[in-house]
Structure 1
Amino acid sequence: MSGSRLDTLTSWHADWKGLRVAVLGLSVTGFSVADTLAELGADVLVVTESADEEYARLLPVIGARLWTGSLAAVPAELLAFTPDVVVASPGFPPHHPVISWATSGGAALWGDIELAWRVRDKVTRADGNPADWVLITGTNGKTTTTQLTATMLAESGLRAAPCGNIGVPVLDAVRDPAGFDVLVVEVSSHQLWYLGQQRGSDRLSPHASVCLNLADDHLEWHGSRAAYRDAKALVYENTRIACVYNKSDVATREMVEEAEVVEGCRAIGFDLGVPGPSDLGIVDGILVDRAFHDDRHHSALELTTLAELAQRGLSAPHVVANILAAAALARSLGVAPENIRDALQRFRLDPHRIEVVAVAGGVTWVDDSKATNPHAAASSLAAYPGAVWVVGGLLKGVDIADLVAARGNRAKAAVVIGVDRAEIVAAFARHAPSVPIFEVDHAQTEDVMAVAVELAASVARDGDTVLLAPAAASFDQFASYADRGTRFADAVRDRIERGSGDDHHRPTPHAGA
């Protein structure tokens, strides 16, 4: 199909009939794509290695076809289909054989974000315009910041939908008949890479955008550190009002400086220091806005205080940074400072995010299973220095040595779990040899956390914290980071209920530790 036809497909009300679209993957995102395209009248073929039984049953009902089988090479059925567009679920990396085929052939390559932007006018606001979009990315803190921003917007009376990589497909939000004023879209580096494949004239143009931070992650997907960074930087492209960046992370500032934005768009910084006239920050324990304020050169607007955040369990430094970023995004949409303060009074972090699961015998047990990479774990360790650190899992090609060198030497002990234990143990031997190391070599999922908790309890004493901050993915031994955190919490509570009193039988640390 010629590019000119695709260039006309920039509205829900355009003529999508007869468009041949191959949808790669049948997760929740893949199904939302297939469902949307079928509703538009496109000819949809879903191609996936395996299919959830419910989704497979629903596809013919909505008018889409399904092919399952090996994708080690481009299947003949896909070649014969000759799609005009390939819409890939974000799990497919750029080097996947089917993606390589699509990029080298005549088909356009989209992700779900691209499709959602094109059909964003299905439901419009009272003024006749579609919802504004706010884009949020970063190595860590995306989901919390997305939820914070949506909560602040809702407190001001705006209809806001947190969606995207947070778990609710953006296409579901676009098609919600109730409609929204603002879509707060969490975007992963995978989704941003696909967004970077855009070729049409109607390119995504968010009201505001932020990259919260940048650290190595998903390098096996992107292929290099530079490619990962470049994907993240795409969040700022074509932003209309505010590019929010982390003053403490020079990479995010450079992304803003390099971005092609709409004329008049402002760069808004945030960090935990005293803010400049276009920043949000902290002065004498008060979170303040000096960006969206008429007298920003001489005064600041109070948003909340560190003391108030501490009362809500929101005072960890990385959480405060997320709050400032969310406040900047909300303020760019006109949310009043008092709405931000009120929203924070009722906000709760999701489970498995620096969640205190128990305090017993003077020991505090903290579940931060969501710390799935070294950057996130570093933030947790900064909040709980000297903790007994439960660490490990699937490292995803990321070197953990820098984290161990920077934070590991302050740990009271380390309990190492997961399939990539050897790399972690070696990093401690090299950078923190005085820290006692205990390995959990149990392969059975149900045993891992019970053993890890017993080992941690054997060294934790009154006043100590045991911190689950794995710095790694969970899929080697658990269904998800949530499953990992739940099993940790269950093992802690089970131990407390049993009133285990055999801590004097202390195991010997790892040899060489």
Structure 2
Amino acid sequence: MGSQEVSSVDWQGKHVTVAGLGVSGIPAARALNERGARVTVVNDGDDDRARAQAAELEALGITVRLGDGATLPPSTDLVVTAPGWQPDKPLFLAAAEAGVPVWGDVELAWRLRGSGGRKPAPWLAVTGTNGKTTTVRMLASILEAAGLRTAAVGNIGVSLLDAVLGDQEYDVLAVELSSYQLHWAPSLRAHSAAVLNLAPDHLDWHGSMAAYAADKGRVYEGNTVACVYNAADPATEDLVREADVEEGCRAIGFTLGAPGPSQLGVVDGILVDRAFVANRHKQAQELAEVSDVHPPAPHNIANALAAAALARAFGVEAAAVRDGLRAFRPDAHRIEHIADIGEVAYVDDSKATNTHAAEASLAAYDSVVWIAGGLAKGAAFDALVTGAAKRLRGAVLMGADRALIREALTRHAPEVPVVDLERTDTGAMSEAVAQAAALARPGDTVLLAPACASMDMFTNYNKRGEAFADAVRARADESA
């Protein structure tokens, strides 16, 4: 199937089982019901919220089965699953045994795009272990600066189904895709796509690093114009080599150094393009200055180059790349500067929930008092600490798996002073900030880059970041 071909399915009377209520399941059930399918929603949970959601769907004639997400309903023709459901769940094993296909919400959106006779918008897709949301939002900002109707959608929180079935028509979509979503999207064919980086993550879900990488690599399948890879991460280029793409599709690298032909990179503080120019062996197009990227941390410059590469693959002019990057501001809790107190900067990167993200965050600053810890998710911290050791003024550790980080610091940075916080109450973050402030010297950065998930102490990484920001602002008020 070509990348822009619309798959037509006659849904009338088909029995579709939707796995999971929630952000993707409810829109999927509604959309399929509207198209004449017989829809059964199965859900593991059976709480008050699930029962309220079920009542709304049942009023539309949709069957909902709460508390039993394991059994495949009889005569099911298709399963549409929420992306987080693991592939080894009994429901999917039963579907495989019965020869019933399983789609995710992304696959369903891909199949339904162009409904109502509208021309389907091409997708520019982004995946990777870290930086996806920032890159997709940068890309959308660049596309908007070019005068294109667009939206940042997908794993970013805006449902792809809502985007492809809503009243708004788009020229192009900037699509964030997780490894979960790609696993369940066999026929997705993007205009162009990028894999930003690959590091161990979600291995409990995928089963192995090889399986995780293979699911990420699905984003390149059937690309028509460009497969964008990270020249500093050979595994991403390997995925391009393994992909089955349309004839004429090009491999486009991005690098923080000077770019070679068919690459975007940085020269003397300028983001330059040697891929989408008339003579890439002799010419380079200036796109923007490093100072146009906010914040201009190395990994964020890499995000900007990836976004620029996808935009240029879609034909966007250089001036729009510059204007879009200038207009963009990152979401909260992503290298967010909170305050300067006594010549010490306080930065919230609560979104750094794994070692790969924390490594990039730590590399952005010369002298750091590091606040870290939480749920390690099976991660090891030796490589992270070894790489950051020379930058560390001190470390304040908190959360369930802080001992793992402390042990890595003892092995690889024994001279770095460490404060180990046992408390896990709501005041723990305030104490962490106070202890970090005591370790810091003028010119230092107190950096919340936990390298761990947050759920041992906080509802999510947003709440953790808010606690840090509140503690910093309270300290700033006291010192004013």
TM-score range, shorter chain: over 0.9
Q: Does 1:85 align with 2:78?
A: yes
d(CA) in 2 for partners of 1:488, 1:459: 16
Map of 1:66 onto structure 2: 64
Map of 2:444 onto structure 1: 464
Letter in 1 for 2:284: A
Which one of 11, 21, 33 corresponds to residue 28 of structure 2? 33
Map of 2:7 onto structure 1: 10
d(CA) in 2 for partners of 1:375, 1:314: 18
d(CA) in 1 for partners of 2:366, 2:267: 24
| Alignment CA distance shift 1:436-1:495 (3 Å) | same
d(CA) in 2 for partners of 1:81, 1:443: 47
Which one of 446, 454, 458 corresponds to residue 478 of structure 1? 458
| Alignment CA distance shift 1:399-1:292 (3 Å) | same
Which structure 2 segments of 5+ residues have no match?
A: none
Aligned-partner SS, 2:59:
helix
Listed one character per residue, the Cα deviations across residues 264-317 of structure 1 (whole Å, up to 9, x for unaligned) are 1011111111111211111221111111111222111111112343xxx33111
Equivalenced residues, count: 473
CA deviation after TM superposition for structure 1 residue 450, in Å: 1.5
Q: Is the 8 A contact 1:213 1:246 kept in 2?
A: yes
Aligned ranges 1:35-184 → 2 under 5 Å: 35-50=30-45, 52=49, 55-69=53-67, 71=69, 74=70, 78-122=71-115, 129-184=119-174
Which one of 277, 284, 291 corresponds to residue 307 of structure 1? 291
Which one of 287, 297, 300 corresponds to residue 319 of structure 1? 300
Indicate the percent of aligned positions where both proteins have the same amino acid.
51
Q: Is the 8 A contact 1:123 1:174 kept in 2?
A: no
CA deviation after TM superposition for structure 1 residue 409, in Å: 4.9
Q: Does 1:487 align with 2:428?
A: no
Aligned ranges 1:293-372 → 2 under 5 Å: 293-309=277-293, 313-372=294-353
Map of 1:420 onto structure 2: 401
CA deviation after TM superposition for structure 1 residue 439, in Å: 1.8
Listed one character per residue, the Cα deviations across residues 139-178 of structure 1 (whole Å, up to 9, x for unaligned) are 1110011011111111111111211100011111011112
Letter in 2 for 1:225: M
d(CA) in 2 for partners of 1:135, 1:67: 34
| Alignment CA distance shift 1:408-1:67 (3 Å) | farther
Q: Does 1:243 align with 2:214?
A: no
Map of 1:275 onto structure 2: 259
d(CA) in 2 for partners of 1:450, 1:97: 44
d(CA) in 2 for partners of 1:452, 1:176: 46
| Alignment CA distance shift 1:246-1:496 (3 Å) | same
Map of 1:214 onto structure 2: 198
| Alignment CA distance shift 1:437-1:124 (3 Å) | farther
Q: Does 1:436 align with 2:420?
A: no
Q: Is the 8 A contact 1:123 1:177 kept in 2?
A: no
**TM-score of the superposed pair, with normalisation by structure 2:** 0.94
Q: Is the 8 A contact 2:72 2:94 kept in 1?
A: no
CA deviation after TM superposition for structure 1 residue 251, in Å: 0.4
| Alignment CA distance shift 1:275-1:164 (3 Å) | same
Map of 1:510 onto structure 2: none
Aligned ranges 1:388-407 → 2 under 5 Å: 388-407=369-388
Listed one character per residue, the Cα deviations across residues 200-225 of structure 1 (whole Å, up to 9, x for unaligned) are xxx22110001001111111111111
CA deviation after TM superposition for structure 1 residue 429, in Å: 1.7
CA RMSD of aligned residues (A): 1.8
CA deviation after TM superposition for structure 1 residue 474, in Å: 1.4
d(CA) in 1 for partners of 2:442, 2:209: 42
Q: Is the 8 A contact 1:219 1:398 kept in 2?
A: no
CA deviation after TM superposition for structure 1 residue 346, in Å: 1.2
d(CA) in 1 for partners of 2:438, 2:168: 54
Letter in 2 for 1:115: L
Q: Is the 8 A contact 2:376 2:401 kept in 1?
A: yes
Aligned-partner SS, 1:261:
coil
Q: Does 1:288 align with 2:272?
A: yes
CA deviation after TM superposition for structure 1 residue 70, in Å: 5.2
| Alignment CA distance shift 1:454-1:270 (3 Å) | same
Aligned-partner SS, 1:495:
helix
CA deviation after TM superposition for structure 1 residue 80, in Å: 4.2
Select between 457-466 and 346-355 the one with higher mean Cα deviation: 457-466
Map of 2:176 onto structure 1: 186
CA deviation after TM superposition for structure 1 residue 100, in Å: 2.6
Q: Is the 8 A contact 2:192 2:226 kept in 1?
A: yes
Which structure 1 segments of 5+ residues have no match?
A: 1-7, 501-513
